[in-house]
Structure 1
């Protein structure tokens, strides 16, 4: 019976946490940026063009540098990617997405370390993390 009450309390606290996240400024910025990209015809055209060239790129990658169109398709993919990255709405969306991911990673780390300081918490790509945390060792590697 005590375990059931504890389970209910944990679920209630999880619901409160999710409501806090959904009502946060970071989440609202993410949703606004996502909708702005979805509603912008120029951004959608860029993304669709990239998807099209990406299909060609995947075909070329099967054969690598030996494919006759390797250089041409690889160059086109890089150019389209650069156009996408420089589009203001898409850039804003990516920033908002990274901020939301950072918030969620921090929440995961906080919860995990409350359970035990030796819990391994994957926090995304360690090359882009501000703090270590990306090694997944819970700080036992000495990097934290």
Structure 2
């Protein structure tokens, strides 16, 4: 029995919808929304991005110092220690773990890692 592309797409849509209804995905979405609505978290994210840009510019010009790295690491640690951000990171990790399990289940009957290599080009 042959499976058509449209049948595969339909199964993919059903899989996506089923994933969206899991507790791990719902927790992730709630945590993401909480971060987006938290002014302190948004300020922390902006600071990390600013320091990352500053570090990248300094690195590209050959002027990066250990102080740049330490400032960025401190800002990231401060951000990640915020309860709302810690919950987001934990929820993201749980969802990622669930999606990796789904990837393994899809990849099992195939001769390729569906999520990791199926869409890529040649690997040396």
Give the aligned partner of residue 5 of structure 2. Answer: 7
Write the distance in 2 (CA, Å) between the matches of 1:71 and 1:27: 38
Cα distance per residue 1:88-112 (max 9 Å; x no partner): 1111101111111111111111011
Using the size of structure 1 for normalisation, the TM-score is: 0.70
Structure 1 stretches of 4+ with a deviation exceeding 4 A read none
Offset of 1:23 from its aligned partner? 1.0
Is 2:93 the counterpart of 1:92? no
Q: 1:13 to 1:79 in 2, by over 3 A?
A: same
Distance of 1:101 and 1:15 partners within structure 2: 19
Residue pairs, 1:1-144, within 5 angstroms: 3=2, 6-64=4-62, 67=63, 70-115=65-110, 118-120=111-113
Report the alpha carbon displacement of residue 62 of structure 1 after superposing the two structures with TM: 2.4
Q: Which has the higher contact order (CA 8 A, sep 6+)?
A: 2
- Output the TM-score relative to the length of structure 2: 0.80
Deviation at 1:22, TM superposition (A): 0.9
Shift of 1:122: 5.9
Measure, in 2, the Cα distance between the counterparts of 1:112 and 1:45. 40
Equivalences, count: 116
Matches of 2:69 and 2:13, distance apart in 1? 46
Mapped to 2, the partners of 1:57 and 1:114 lie a distance apart of 45
SS in 2 for 1:114: coil
